[in-house]
Amino acid sequence: MLFPTAFIPPHVEPRWWERDATSPEPTRNVTAAEHGQCPTHVKYALTCRQFDRLMARADNHCEACGSAPENSRFGRLAIDHVTKLGWWAVRGLLCTACNAALHVGALGLPRFREYVSNAFYLTLLAEAKVTDHVAEPPLGAVVLDAGGRPWRREQPARWPWTSEHRWMPRHRRYPQAPETWEWLTSRNGPHHLRVDRIESHLIPAA
Ligand SMILES: [Zn+2]
Ligand SMILES: [Zn+2]
């Protein structure tokens, strides 16, 4: 058997969730041991640093009832989000019971009152100085998503029968999947989207 005894991974650039706008220093080495399951928080559009902040805020206890993670399913707290807004709208960390209670509409219970008003995504929106609704940029706009990937608003070339404008992924070699602005904001969160430039040649002359 000629397997190498120690596999040395090739050098790769830190991924977008391992960096943060607040500090250019990648967080990879700091957090690799602590949250080895970065894809879980990345699904909620949280960078490693933001997830660290969320964990520090919860102090390893349910943010609504104070229960320890041992009382939860799989022995860990759940990431609670507002489904109506999108994956990015993370309210906080909850035990299984509180998370399930919110699912069946227990928002009115007193233990959730403070928790809901202190939702984590409200902090992120306030830091980025945006609200949960951002107006769609004009035709020809190129928007960078959470990972810095460009999306351009244009008329899909394969839809000549409609005048609808959609968002085309410019980072793919064969962009075939036009998306709506609602999809883009619900996947990334308004605080992660920024207009990079306007390509005016796409705007038809009046
Ligand atoms: Zn992480
Ligand atoms: Zn709880």
**Residue range 115-125: mean pLDDT, rounded:** 94
- The ligand whose atoms approach the alpha carbon of 67 most closely is 2
Which value, to the nearest 10 degrees, does the dihedral of the CA atoms of residues 146, 147, 149, 152 take? -10
Looking at the 3D structure of the chain, how many domains does it have?
A: 2
Is ipTM beyond 0.90?
A: yes
Cα 31 to ligand 1 centroid, rounded to whole Å? 6
Residue 4 lies in a domain: no
Residue 113 lies in a domain: yes
Q: What is the pLDDT of residues 54-96, one digit of tens each?
A: 998 999 899 999 999 898 888 889 999 999 899 999 999 999 9
Cα 99 to ligand 2 centroid, rounded to whole Å? 7
Structural domain span for residue 196: 141-202
Q: Are 98 and 68 in contact (CB under 8 A)?
A: no
Cα 14 to ligand 1 centroid, rounded to whole Å? 11
pLDDT at 119: 95
Angle between helices 120-128 and 48-58 (to 10 degrees): 130
Above 70 in pLDDT, residue 31? no
Judge if 160 and 100 occupy the same domain: no
User: Residue 9 is which amino acid?
Assistant: P
Instruction: Give the list of residues 6+ apart from residue 32 with CB closer than 8 angstroms, or none.
Output: none
Judge if 78 and 147 occupy the same domain: no
Judge if 44 and 113 occupy the same domain: yes
Residue 11 lies in a domain: no
94, 128, 162: which is the final residue of a domain? 128
Residue 2 lies in a domain: no
Cα 68 to ligand 2 centroid, rounded to whole Å? 8
Q: Are 138 and 195 in contact (CB under 8 A)?
A: no
Judge if 154 and 57 occupy the same domain: no
Cα–Cα dist 154/160, whole Å: 12
Cα 90 to ligand 2 centroid, rounded to whole Å? 16
Above 70 in pLDDT, residue 1? no
